[in-house]
Amino acid sequence: MRYFKFFFAAMILFFGTVSGGCDILPFDSSSSETGERVVAICFPNTTPSWQRNGDSLQKLLEEENFKVNIQFAGNIDEQKKQVAEVLETHPNCIVIGAIDSDAFAETLEKAKEYQIPVIAFDRIIKGTDAVSYYASFDNDAIGEGMGLYIEAALDLKNGKGPYNIELFAGGPTDNNAHIFFKQTMAILEPYMKTGQLVVRSGQKTFDEVAVADWNAENARPRIREIMTKYYADQPLQVVLSPNDNIAGVLLDEIKKAGKPAPLISGLDGDPEAFERIKAGQQTFTIGKDPDVLTAKCVRMIKAVVEGTQPDINDVTTYDNGVIIVPAYLCTPQIIDKTNVK
Ligand code: BGC
């Protein structure tokens, strides 16, 4: 069975080099009227990390003589409009960082009709076979890494505690947010059962703790209320923050409540987070180096446009409901006061 699985994976890898996850053939590089090879990029503008990823991707693509049309959107309607409009310009490839992982099936029918290859960047796109490849960090490892760091830092395995903890998760429309939270909770939940971790607010489910659209300002009222209601005369020792941007707001409110910085997580490796780590405010972040991810994404773009070999290291995890999208999952890096630069 193992052997069969390997054979199956090898077949997908082989065909993946030509057509990715769907029946799109490599574009003739001279297919656009001007002979230019154009890559459209549609990203959210929800966190500074998207800007960094966009800049890095644009730079690498321009070095490879691609023309880049990059756009950022603040909400899903705006992003769907941007994607629909840019498809009408017939780019050679479109790279999407989806604001809503479930919202693109219909819009991408046009990509199929026009034979424009689609690459999902950082976030998987569900419900369509229009997606050729998925370039991301290992989302399961990110969630697990957050849980393992907290477990080790508090010495929970040796029965230490109780510690008061509050939980925050990313935006509900982003598939990654669900993966991160699920993996972290798989590590932390047993300690809530033993009473070593205590959530005084009682808010533990994804729906209760999610921060709409990953917009850090949406986390502010909830942490403010939690501090007043549950921590006026209690210490808050641990906070699970789903990314750096949100950690900034949480720390701000905790400080305003007159409390010291707790053990707090982050994600992305924002420069502001590095400064907070150096200042002893934020405990750690999980770094997602944009240059690492964008280099893999460029390999995928070249594969669909020029028929070259992409880097793929996962052909089983990202079942988007219609196809299993061949992926390259980069390795994230934990950064804390011991290795921050
Ligand atoms: C990404 C995170 C990012 C968040 C908010 C997630 O999908 O994986 O790195 O912080 O979106 O933009």
Residue 113 sits in which domain range? 30-138+290-324
pLDDT of residue 2: 29
> 175: Cβ below 6 Å to ligand 1?
no
pLDDT of residue 13: 37
CATH number at 253 reads: 3.40.50.2300
Residue with CA at minimum distance from ligand 1 atom 9:
268
Residue 134 shares a structural domain with residue 170: no
Residue whose C-alpha is closest to residue 119's, from 310, 333, 287, 289:
310
Residue with CA at minimum distance from ligand 1 atom 4:
214
Residue 128 shares a structural domain with residue 207: no
The pair of three-digit structure tokens given for residue 260, joined into one six-digit string: 């010291």
Atom of ligand 1 nearest to the CA of 122: 8
pLDDT of residue 34: 66
pLDDT of residue 112: 97
Specify the 3-state DSSP secondary structure of 181: helix
Residue 312 shares a structural domain with residue 264: no
Can you tell me which residue has the tokens 């909400």?
A: 75
> 47: Cβ below 6 Å to ligand 1?
yes
How many structural domains is the chain composed of? 2
C-alpha span between 326 and 134 (Å, rounded): 6
> 166: Cβ below 6 Å to ligand 1?
no
pLDDT of residue 22: 36
pLDDT of residue 80: 98
pLDDT of residue 320: 98
Residue 50 shares a structural domain with residue 125: yes
Answer yes or no: is 80 within a domain. yes
**In angstroms, what is the span from residue 86 Cα to ligand 1's centroid?**
23
pLDDT in tens, 232-283: 999 999 999 999 999 999 999 999 999 999 999 999 999 999 999 999 999 9
| Sheet arrangement for strand 163-167 | 197-198, 163-167, 238-240, 263-264
**In angstroms, what is the span from residue 288 Cα to ligand 1's centroid?**
10
Spans in the chain with pLDDT lower than 70: 1-34
**In angstroms, what is the span from residue 122 Cα to ligand 1's centroid?**
8
> 49: Cβ below 6 Å to ligand 1?
yes
- 39 sits in the region (left: phi over 0; alpha: psi -120 to 50; else beta) called beta
Residue 151 shares a structural domain with residue 270: yes
pTM surpassing 0.75? Answer: yes
Cα–Cα distance list, 95 to 43, 44, 109, 122 (Å): 8, 12, 15, 10
Answer yes or no: is 13 within a domain. no
Residue 44 shares a structural domain with residue 125: yes
Residue with CA at minimum distance from ligand 1 atom 7:
176
pLDDT of residue 35: 78
C-alpha span between 330 and 290 (Å, rounded): 10
Residue 81 shares a structural domain with residue 187: no
> Residue 155: CB partners within 8 Å, gap ≥ 6?
none
Residue 82 shares a structural domain with residue 164: no
Answer yes or no: is 269 within a domain. yes
Answer yes or no: is 5 within a domain. no
> 244: Cβ below 6 Å to ligand 1?
no
pLDDT of residue 309: 87
pLDDT of residue 33: 56
Residue whose C-alpha is closest to residue 333's, from 148, 181, 141:
141
* Cα-Cα end-to-end distance for the chain: 46
Residue 129 shares a structural domain with residue 164: no
Which of 245, 268, 293, 294 for a ligand 1 pocket mutation test, highest count of atoms within 8 Å of Cβ? 268
